[in-house]
């Protein structure tokens, strides 16, 4: 199962369960473009955390930041894999929030690590939002710039005002996702789990 919450929920049954986190194809992304050369300041894809979206959109617009998001559910800003990959690589920061926060009725209490976190790290962008415990456990540290709910814009201001200081964060995240969350790693773990 891809969430440790689900594994814990199933432990009370007779079924044998293992946690096998999400993974991504790290080689699909080129993280080499420095943050200061990227044109998208804040990327918000898919599910919106409506509270956060409403809190940051006007002030980001006021500061002249490029905040790219789907204006409605029918508009797709990256219609194919190539434009998605390029968009991620052209982003300085990407909002990443578990579905259990954005849509608790749909996702229930399971706090899932989604591919978006891993894709963001592989693309060399900074994940901003809420770090799921599974991501912290997988990486051994928190790779997310956390949102302060009393001052939601602060995380974005900090990144956009200090892009050069995030070079080490980007590299640490990129190396961690390559070593711990690339599909080549996950497939080997699956093979081992199936033979153990």
- Whole-number Å distance between alpha carbons of 61 and 65: 6
Q: Are strands 40-44 and 145-146 parallel, antiparallel or unpaired?
A: unpaired
Under 8 Å between Cβ of 85 and 31: no
Query: Is residue 129 classed as helix, strand or coil in its secondary structure?
Result: strand
Q: Output the pLDDT for position 176.
A: 97
| Alpha-carbon torsion (77, 23, 143, 111), positive or negative | positive
At residue 120, the pLDDT reads: 98
Q: What's the gap between Cα 21 and its chain centre? A: 13
pLDDT score, position 12 = 60
pLDDT number for residue 46: 82
**4-11+21-195 carries CATH number 3.40.50.150:** no
Q: What is the pLDDT of residue 116?
A: 94
Residue numbers in the chain where pLDDT is lower than 50: 1
pLDDT at residue 11, rounded to an integer: 62
pLDDT on residue 190:
77
pLDDT value at residue 85: 97
SS3 content of the chain, % helix, strand, coil (to 5): 50, 10, 40
According to the model, what pLDDT value does residue 187 have?
Answer: 84
Alpha-carbon torsion (41, 46, 50, 51), positive or negative? negative
Model pLDDT, residue 170: 95
pLDDT single digits (tens) 31-65: 999 999 999 999 999 888 899 999 999 999 999 99
Q: In residues, how long is the chain?
A: 196
The separation between the first and the last C-alpha atoms of the chain, rounded to the nearest angstrom, is 16
Greatest Cα pair distance, the chain, in angstroms, is 56
pLDDT for residue 107: 56
Q: Which two tokens stand for residue 193?
A: 């789990």
Distance CA 170, CA 160 (A): 14
Q: Can you read off the two tokens belonging to residue 110?
A: 């399971």
């Amino acid at each position: 199962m891809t969430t440790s919450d689900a594994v814990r929920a199933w432990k009370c049954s007779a079924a044998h369960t293992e946690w096998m986190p999400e993974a991504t194809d790290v080689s699909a992304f080129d993280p080499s473009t420095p943050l200061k050369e990227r044109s998208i300041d804040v990327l918000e894809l898919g599910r919106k955390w409506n509270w956060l979206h409403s809190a940051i959109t006007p002030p980001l617009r006021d500061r002249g930041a490029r905040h790219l998001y789907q204006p409605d559910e029918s508009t797709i800003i990256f219609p194919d894999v190539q434009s998605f990959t390029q968009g991620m690589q052209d982003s300085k920061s990407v909002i990443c929030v578990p579905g259990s926060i954005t849509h608790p009725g749909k996702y229930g209490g399971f706090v899932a690590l989604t591919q978006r976190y891993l894709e963001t790290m592989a693309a060399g962008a900074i994940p901003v939002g809420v770090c799921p415990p599974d991501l912290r456990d997988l990486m051994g540290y928190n790779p997310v710039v956390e949102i302060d709910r009393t001052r939601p814009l602060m995380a974005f201001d900090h990144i956009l005002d200090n892009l050069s200081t995030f070079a080490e964060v980007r590299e640490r995240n990129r190396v961690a996702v390559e070593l711990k969350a690339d599909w080549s790693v996950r497939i080997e773990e699956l093979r081992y789990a199936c033979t153990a």
